[in-house]
């Protein structure tokens, strides 16, 4: 089958939305680090709208920090790819032209640094997942012992980490008299702008205190809240999209119809006028709302659902008792921890979340969400747990989410089969869990000893440890599906 490309764009069915702007005239205004499916289905779509509205200064050069897969898929397609939007009411395909090129950082770090140093680049955005910030999730500070950070300190001109690339590019711009670009983190971290700035200033200061002070004074890192559910693309999805396009796309992305981007409006070097973005002076209330309600529920359903044998979130949320359990967690335990958002209809937001979770057209795998739990849980569940404990409030349902993660982290499912545990701390989790065995007391203490997740306070806090331990025992004795029913009936 012929491939999607500039040449074949004209052959697409008329009903398909595609770039109508002159792609040859688009300039590079944004470098995006970590060009995975999420960016292509989220920020790149908003930027495609900017180009379509006639502002051609904001083309994107994407970079993969690890594998060449995205470049290999998109380069023969001149950067073009399809977004397949699937909702209850049907589906839509749209071809995005905002990505001008994809670089593979490890193959040629110098090429990426050269692009980042170009004066026309005014924004460097990131979707590198929680672990890509090389910080300690429990403190939000740069982890100076992170292997990539240690490497980058020795090899600043050929770095490995996202912070390493950004700091080196900013140092080069400074030396050349070019103003800094704005750094725009688009990952699910609370206060992601502040965390990013702390990490970058921290790394710069380790290289050169003067550079650290310069970035502290000059660098803008606005916080953002990003939201769109984007399941991993499968071969069946590729076939389906090819059928709709009439040409092959090696790597289309899937998404739900819902999309949201709330951005702190602090771009000293300028920004595109992204249609549909909510620009605010303080993103924090939105971030907490989304991270704790959506992502906190996602993780809870992912672990309980996976252990109960549910492949997708749509299946998990339909499990007996799950929706009731998660609603009670949202309403009784999470919502009271959220900063107020005057005028915002929170009940409607929560109803909409359940409609999104139930979306049967999206096969969003529980296993995909279960990944990297050591990085995700601190923001999603442990933060609200801490706040509630400090106020003397119960955390029954949050504790079940944490216990389900612990049960999952044993690496063996309820049928005795191995779980493909993907986590930067997987080796440590497995060895702690193996040493503890299935005794809930020993297991809970072994895993609470992971400082990067639980800090030094939670392991010694009986109001945290006790409910987690009780749920862990129930999960072992009764299994996850039955535990969900028990918890829903509380």
Q: Residues interacting with ligand CS2, by CB under 6 A?
A: 188, 227-229, 294-295, 298, 368-369, 376
CB of 260 to ligand CS2, least distance (A): 8
The residues pairing with 94 across neighbouring beta strands, listed in sequence order, are 17, 83
The residues pairing with 28 across neighbouring beta strands, listed in sequence order, are 59
Going by C-alpha positions, the residue among 83, 87, 74 that lies closest to residue 3 is: 74
Q: Which residues contact 229 (CB under 8 A, 6 or more apart)?
A: 255, 256, 258, 356, 359, 362, 364
Which CB, 48 or 227, lies closer to ligand CS2?
A: 227
CA dihedral (361, 367, 372, 373) positive or negative = positive
Which CB, 152 or 333, lies closer to ligand CS2?
A: 333
CB of 291 to ligand CS2, least distance (A): 8
CB of 356 to ligand CS2, least distance (A): 9
**d(Cα 466, Cα 472) in Å, to the nearest integer?**
10
CB of 353 to ligand CS2, least distance (A): 10
Which CB, 228 or 397, lies closer to ligand CS2?
A: 228
**d(Cα 28, Cα 186) in Å, to the nearest integer?**
19
Q: Which residues contact 311 (CB under 8 A, 6 or more apart)?
A: 363, 365, 366, 367
Which CB, 278 or 460, lies closer to ligand CS2?
A: 278
Q: Evaluate whether 158 touches 114 at the Cβ level (below 8 Å).
A: no
CA dihedral (135, 391, 465, 384) positive or negative = negative
CB of 129 to ligand CS2, least distance (A): 9
Three-state secondary structure string covering 66-86: CCCHHHHHHHHHCCCEEEEEE
CB of 461 to ligand CS2, least distance (A): 25
**d(Cα 52, Cα 22) in Å, to the nearest integer?**
9
CB of 16 to ligand CS2, least distance (A): 25
Which CB, 224 or 308, lies closer to ligand CS2?
A: 224
Of all residues in the shown chain, the one whose CB is closest to ligand CS2 is 298
Which CB, 77 or 312, lies closer to ligand CS2?
A: 312
Which CB, 136 or 188, lies closer to ligand CS2?
A: 188
């Amino acid at each position: 089958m012929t491939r999607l490309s500039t040449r074949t764009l004209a052959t697409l069915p008329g009903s398909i939305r595609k770039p109508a702007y002159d792609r040859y005239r688009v300039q590079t205004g944004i470098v995006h680090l970590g060009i995975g499916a999420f960016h292509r289905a989220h920020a790149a779509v908003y930027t495609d709208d900017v180009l379509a509205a006639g502002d051609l200064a904001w083309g994107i050069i994407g970079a993969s920090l690890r594998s060449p897969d995205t470049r290999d898929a998109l380069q023969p397609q001149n950067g073009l790819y399809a977004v397949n939007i699937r909702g209850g009411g049907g589906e839509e395909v749209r071809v995005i032209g905002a990505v001008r090129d994809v670089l593979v950082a490890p193959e040629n770090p110098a090429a990426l640094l050269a692009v980042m140093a170009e004066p026309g680049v005014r924004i460097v955005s990131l979707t590198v997942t929680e672990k890509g910030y090389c910080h300690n999730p429990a403190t939000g500070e740069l982890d100076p012992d992170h292997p990539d950070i240690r490497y980058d300190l020795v090899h600043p001109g050929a770095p490995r980490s996202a912070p390493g690339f950004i700091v080196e590019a900013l140092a080069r711009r400074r030396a050349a008299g070019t103003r800094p670009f704005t750094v725009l983190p688009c990952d699910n971290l609370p206060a992601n702008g502040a965390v990013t700035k702390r990490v970058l200033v921290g790394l710069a200061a380790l290289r050169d205190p003067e550079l650290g002070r310069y970035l502290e004074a000059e660098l803008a890192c606005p916080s953002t809240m990003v939201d769109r559910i984007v399941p991993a693309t499968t071969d069946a999805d590729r076939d389906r999209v090819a059928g709709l396009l009439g040409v092959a796309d090696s790597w289309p992305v899937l998404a739900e119809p819902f999309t949201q981007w709330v951005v702190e409006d602090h771009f000293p070097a300028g920004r595109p006028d992204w249609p549909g973005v909510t620009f605010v002076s303080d993103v924090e209330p939105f971030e907490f709302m989304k991270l704790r309600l959506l992502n906190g529920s996602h993780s809870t359903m992912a672990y309980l659902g996976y252990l109960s044998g549910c492949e997708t979130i749509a299946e998990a949320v339909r499990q007996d008792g799950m929706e009731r359990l998660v609603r009670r967690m949202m309403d009784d335990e999470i919502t009271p921890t959220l900063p107020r958002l005057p005028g915002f209809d929170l009940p409607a937001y929560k109803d909409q979340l359940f409609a999104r979770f139930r979306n049967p057209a999206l096969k969003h795998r529980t296993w995909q969400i279960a990944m990297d739990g050591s990085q995700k849980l601190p923001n999603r569940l442990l933060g609200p747990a801490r706040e509630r404990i400090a106020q003397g409030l119960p955390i029954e349902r949050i504790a079940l989410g944490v216990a389900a993660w612990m049960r999952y982290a044993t690496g063996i499912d309820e049928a005795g089969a191995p779980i493909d545990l993907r986590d930067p701390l997987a080796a440590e989790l497995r060895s702690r869990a193996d040493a503890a065995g299935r005794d809930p007391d020993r297991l809970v203490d072994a895993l609470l000893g992971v400082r990067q997740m639980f800090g030094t306070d939670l392991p010694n806090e009986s109001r945290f440890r006790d409910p987690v331990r009780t749920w862990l025992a129930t999960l072992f004795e009764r299994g996850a599906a039955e535990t969900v029913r028990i918890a829903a009936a509380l």
